[in-house]
Chain A
């Protein structure tokens, strides 16, 4: 048995377990740690697929920056689990379960023959080293890459604007008790 299969199974279980615990945990902090586990597992899968640079970014940006941001906001907003007890929207949970499993069944059903019967990948393919990825990124994909600059700038400005907006609202309504 290929060692890859063992690694895949272990980390697949870890990823699914992390995802499920994220969904089920009453405490948002626990959810965040579940997601963190899934992200680490996915980073492993990236390495298994030769995407070394992407795996590094996955850990640095997602597991590092984004999840830290999440935790920071959770702490800011406060951990409140009281309102998760009961569902107000009728049939929301059964519907969500049916739709989620329906989606899964459909996707698996659509791909089952090709996926299972596909020949195992023998060649190494092109490795996702920094050199290769940056060649590609700053060559063929330069323009979209530059466009992301605008996206991120807008996001930054928007975030500042939202913070300012909330501040102004608070001043206008007169409750500056913080």
Chain B
């Protein structure tokens, strides 16, 4: 089955290409079904192929497909090892659920087949990124993911804000891609190849903490920061909420944003010998986690809360991989994929049931109207807040414990993570209480209702995983760690401290989470709702004006440069040059037309002039004079 692993990519790709050309003919329900079935098939192929790996001691293997770029030492071949197997299962599994959900959510949309074309393309791109066995293949997937996210975010491009959000996501991602690309160039210059085997196999020949490896890893980090929406390139993600909700779930849970984490985990061989870069990764992660959590508190839009929440959770993952706790980082990626997808899909169900309303202050009291959405979202809420035994508790706690265990300055990062945990519990509780508890604050004419089966089924499945997925890697039974061990075989992976410390830390973080929930409960349930207005709330809601800051410092000068390039340099300079050349040629031609008198005798004169000149020249050259 491993030899057929290319089918995992090929099926969604086939779906994308097929629906692109035949989508309209296939029509509304069937195009969605085909796309969904293809992704489900991919999932099961991946699952069967991964079965031997569950037994343990799975080293991974390369599946050669075709020769691609021999000059770069790159073939188009796939790498099937525990890490890529896990990522593939997450991408196809969660992706399949989101496809199912999408068939209900997009019901009646005018571009229904096109939506599934893009979704399949997205899945295929992400799988290329994950399964490639070289940085070149990863880069192809990386860019394809960027493209398909652009297509999906601006799917409702009739809305100017959606079109702008797609553009923003694309442009911001380009900044990261630029860093990634430079990193690839340095890697090629250093190792003479881009394939993982060569690069990671020779990584230990580099000087630990040397300039080369530090430069490579920092530039890789730039790429990861762009794709995974970390400080300072996170700004595209909240705006990406303009896309349809299944897209938000797909981008924020299963695929795109985890690419950065995956890339760092995949490059663990390089990061583990670059302590400075790892420190930067962890610091960026911790600061992003805190910063985004604070902003999430001030959001009124239910999806924007989740967007900032995603940024914050990705910060945790960066913290983990920065602390060389790659397994913990990937573990959190896995659990986050479940509960965040669930949150988004639940939020989508709420929005769907509220006829498109996204403002939490206009919801309230929905738990009786939407029992399934409510029930599943409670699971996700407890999971992300870090309440045992739900998934988020295990993964987040492992990260915090490892960070604390590293001692020194890392304790400060642990503290930041702890504060973020409290804030996370608070803003998620705020979301839940405002949405499902209290008195209805709906606009007139809105009749909240439960979503169709195709939407609630994925919610239930995801809820099961959000509740239970943490159990695959508990301190009692670290199955995931064992499973992933071969992928990080030659790297020193940080582990949680031994003894009583992790239990104390776990207790502290649970207390902190409960505290956050309690504060939110008192604030939003037991008392009259507070009025969250005024300067400070505006500041937080606007994300501390980072967008404005970027707008003033980067976008405006950029536009000024573009305008001067378009209307001064191009219109006057380049056009002037071109027109000048054209004009000069025309004047020259006008001058030359004087010779074209139409008088045949003038032509004769010219001819004889030439003949005389040639004879004279020949005679002079022949030495006759």
Contacts and interface: CB of A to CB of B under 8 A. Distances in A.
Nearest to B605: A95
Contact of A106 (B599, B602, B609, B616): B616
Interface stretch (A12-20, A96-104, A116-124, A127-135): A96-104
Nearest to A96: B605
Contacts of B622: 110
Interface of B: 597, 599, 601-602, 605, 608-609, 611-612, 615-616, 619, 622, 624-625
Nearest to A87: B601
A117 to B, nearest CB: 15
A130 B113 CA distance: 94
A103 B601 contact: no
Given A106-B619, A109-B619, A110-B619, A92 B612 contact: no
A89 interface: yes
Contacts of A107: 615
Contacts of A99: 605, 608-609, 612
B615 A103 contact: yes
A96 B619 CA distance: 21
B605 A103 contact: no
A110 B615 CA distance: 9
A73 B96 CA distance: 95
Contacts of B605: 92, 95-96, 99
A102 B615 CA distance: 10
A89 B602 contact: yes
A102 B619 CA distance: 13
Interface residues of A, number: 12
A89 B616 CA distance: 26
Given A89-B599, A109-B624, A110-B624, A103 B608 contact: yes
Contacts of A95: 605
Contacts of B601: 89, 92
Contacts of A106: 612, 615-616, 619
Nearest to B618: A110
A100 B604 CA distance: 12
Nearest to B612: A102
B383 to A, nearest CB: 94
A26 B601 CA distance: 18
A101 to B, nearest CB: 10
A103 B611 contact: yes
Nearest to B599: A89
Shortest 9 CB-CB distances between A and B: which pairs? A99-B608, A106-B615, A102-B612, A110-B619, A110-B624, A95-B605, A103-B612, A89-B599, A99-B612
A45 B447 CA distance: 121
Contacts of B625: 109
A92 B616 contact: no
Given A92-B602, A95-B605, A103-B612, 8 more contacts: A89-B601, A89-B602, A92-B601, A102-B616, A103-B611, A106-B612, A106-B619, A110-B615
Interface in A76-97: 89, 92, 95-96
15 contacts: A89-B601, A92-B601, A92-B602, A99-B609, A99-B612, A100-B608, A102-B612, A103-B611, A103-B612, A106-B619, A107-B615, A109-B625, A110-B615, A110-B619, A110-B622
Nearest to B608: A99
Contacts of A89: 597, 599, 601-602
A92 B625 CA distance: 29
A96 B625 CA distance: 24
Contacts of A103: 608, 611-612, 615
A109 B616 CA distance: 10
Nearest to B609: A99
Interface in A8-54: none
Nearest to B622: A110
A100 B605 CA distance: 10
A106 B599 CA distance: 27
Nearest to B611: A103
Nearest to B616: A106
Q: Which of B597, B599, B608, B611 lies at the interface centre, i.e. has the most chain A CB atoms within 10 A of its CB?
A: B608
A71 to B, nearest CB: 23
Contacts of B599: 89
A92 B616 CA distance: 21
A106 B616 CA distance: 7
A99 B609 CA distance: 7
A95 B609 CA distance: 9
B541 to A, nearest CB: 84
Contacts of B611: 103
B608 to A, nearest CB: 5
A167 B151 CA distance: 70
